[in-house]
Structures are given as C-alpha cells and as structure tokens.
Amino acid sequence: MIPVTEYKGKVAPDWCPGCGNFSQLRAISMALSQLDIKPENVVISSGIGCSSNMPEFINTYGFHGLHGRSLPVAEGIKWANRKLTVIAYGGDGDGYFEGTQHFYHAAKRNVDMTYMVSDNQVFGLTTGQASPTTPIGRITKSTPDGNIEPPFNPLHYALTAGATFVARGLSGDIKQLTEITKAAIQHKGFSFIDVFSPCVTYNKIEGYDFFRKTTYELQGNNTKDFFEAFKHASEWGEEAHTIPIGILYDVDAPVYEDVDETLSKFNLKEKEPYKLTEADLEEFY
C-alpha cells in the first residue's frame, strides 16, 4: 500500500477551518493509498468554486478548468489514456447549476470515471448565495425574501441519467466516505458521490450537527434494484435518521469507451505518435 503521505500536495489547503472539503481531500487520498494507485496514474479535474481548488492540494495530476466544465475535461482525459484513474470534483453550484448538462451526458454515456460533489447547499466562493440544493424558504444573499425554487435532487438526476454507481457520503464520517470513494473508483463505469459538506462560514443551518442528527447509514439495501435506489434517493427530512448515507446503486453496464468503435480500438496515449495510413482512411471513410 502506498503511504497516504505520498498524496500530500505542495500547496496547503486554504479552505475555512472546519470546511467539509478537508474530509473529501482526506478520503480521496486514503482511498488512492489503500487501493495502491500511484499518484502519477491519477488525474483530478475540477471547475470553479471553493471545492474546485482540490487539484492544487493533492499530489496527483490535475486540471483546474472552467465553471461547470470538470466533466468534459475528465472524459477527454479518460479517453486519451484509459489506464488513468480519473476523478472529477467540484461543488453543488459548479456541478448542479453550470454543469448539469455535462453531468447528464457523462452519466448517460457511462464513462469509466468518478464524480464527487461537495454539496453544501450554498455558493460558498461568492459568499453565500442560494445554490441548486438550497432548501425552499432559505434566506440568503440572493434570496432575501426566501428561496422559492425547489431544491435539485442530484441522486434522482444521476439515476435517471444512467449512472451505474450512485452514492451519498458525509464529510463528518471520513471512514465511511473513504470506503464509498474506494468502491466508486473500483467500479467500472460512471460513479457519482454526492457528499454533504457543511459550509461553516455561509450555511449555519445544514451543518455537522444537522447531518449527524438527520442521516442514517444504509445497510442491507439492494444496490442492484433501481427502484429501491430511487426510493432511498427520495428520502429527506429534518427529523432524526431520515436521510440515507451510503451506496444506493451499483450495477454493471458497458462503458462508453468500450462501445464506441474508435475508442475501443485505439488508446490514444498508447498510440502516440501515430500516423494515419491509407488503410486507416479507407476504414473510416
């Protein structure tokens, strides 16, 4: 097993003390360590936001891109070199607002990669506006009279789009989050993890105490049953133990890069440098 210290980045995280993103950084590092995946064989792609600074804080290859665009970049990286472990990472604003269409298509294609979202129900980087997962009625900088939009359900979205691995984690439980992350990375296909990640600065309601009270760990559920997974994804409440945490769905299905005619024949990285021959042109045209 590779020591977890091998994944420590040269730049120290500058998140607010107590931010849930620290737990996700630790969970990803521990998962890669326990799976014995070398840092040079990992690429983390991100968009814009507090959480999207992740590639700067971990010792792997990384790409810090545009708002909501972590997934198409991650897809391209995976298709260029399928031997890489590719992880897309960002926040609920980045992924569930600007990035919803990319989320849909990556899940629908079942690209072999992991997508982890730090879900804190608020735009943290821009100081506390309502995000797609902000509850109805919440007063924020952008909703001074209370949020009037129903919150986005990322688990429903992932399931109906076609993701073959759907899970929810909690930043307050690094041990379970590490196990979920390991399972997601090992899964061949599009793995999605929504992580409750309290914003200790701009969201004083859905904090660690709230999620410790309201969540419960899924046990004995049938992860092969779509409708059971969808039912668990619908559970929500402010009462004790009303929100499930764990792996909801985990099934096998063909991945895009194995089905697509071109990608299935060529691993672009292995073929570099590659010159098209007359035979290649005749085959494609």
The answer to whether residue 284 scores a pLDDT higher than 90 is no
Domain boundaries, the chain: 4-254
**Which alpha helices (DSSP H) does the chain contain, by range?**
21-34, 54-57, 70-80, 92-93, 100-109, 154-161, 174-186, 208-214, 226-233, 256-259, 261-265, 268-271, 278-284
The answer to whether residue 15 scores a pLDDT higher than 70 is yes
Model pLDDT for residues 45-81, shown as the tens digit of each residue: 999 888 889 999 999 999 988 887 899 999 999 999 9
The answer to whether residue 234 scores a pLDDT higher than 80 is yes
Q: How far apart are CA 242 and CA 124, in angstroms?
A: 26
Q: How far apart are CA 86 and CA 116, in angstroms?
A: 11
- 68 vs 42, 94, 194, CA distance in Å? 21, 5, 15
Name the token pair of 144. 């001074």
Percent of the chain's residues with pLDDT above 90: 78
Q: Candidates 3.40.50.970, 3.10.129.10, 2.40.40.20, 3.40.50.2300; correct CATH number of 4-254?
A: 3.40.50.970
Q: Is 13 helix (H, G, I), strand (E, B) or coil?
A: coil
- Integer-rounded Cα radius of gyration of the chain: 19
Q: How far apart are CA 35 and CA 242, in angstroms?
A: 32
How does DSSP classify residue 126?
A: T
Model pLDDT for residues 146-160, shown as the tens digit of each residue: 999 999 999 999 999
Q: How far apart are CA 188 and CA 217, in angstroms?
A: 24
Residue with tokens 């507090």: 50
Query: Which of the four pLDDT bands, split at 50, 70 and 90, describes residue 268?
Result: low
How does DSSP classify residue 123?
A: B
Strand-pair category, 243-250 with 61-64? unpaired
- 278 vs 1, 53, 281, 284, CA distance in Å? 47, 45, 5, 10
Are the CB atoms for 235 and 242 separated by under 8 Å? Answer: yes
- pLDDT of amino acid 274: 57
- pLDDT of amino acid 285: 63
Q: Is the pTM of this model over 0.85?
A: yes
- pLDDT of amino acid 60: 96
Q: How far apart are CA 184 and CA 104, in angstroms?
A: 18
**Three-point CA angle 272, 275, 280, nearest 5°:** 115
- 77 vs 32, 84, 101, 143, CA distance in Å? 18, 8, 18, 38
Q: Is 215 helix (H, G, I), strand (E, B) or coil?
A: strand
How does DSSP classify residue 262?
A: H
Are the CB atoms for 56 and 86 separated by under 8 Å? Answer: no
- pLDDT of amino acid 8: 95
Between the ranges 133-137, 146-150, 162-166, where is the mean pLDDT highest? 162-166
Are the CB atoms for 232 and 208 separated by under 8 Å? Answer: no
- pLDDT of amino acid 170: 97
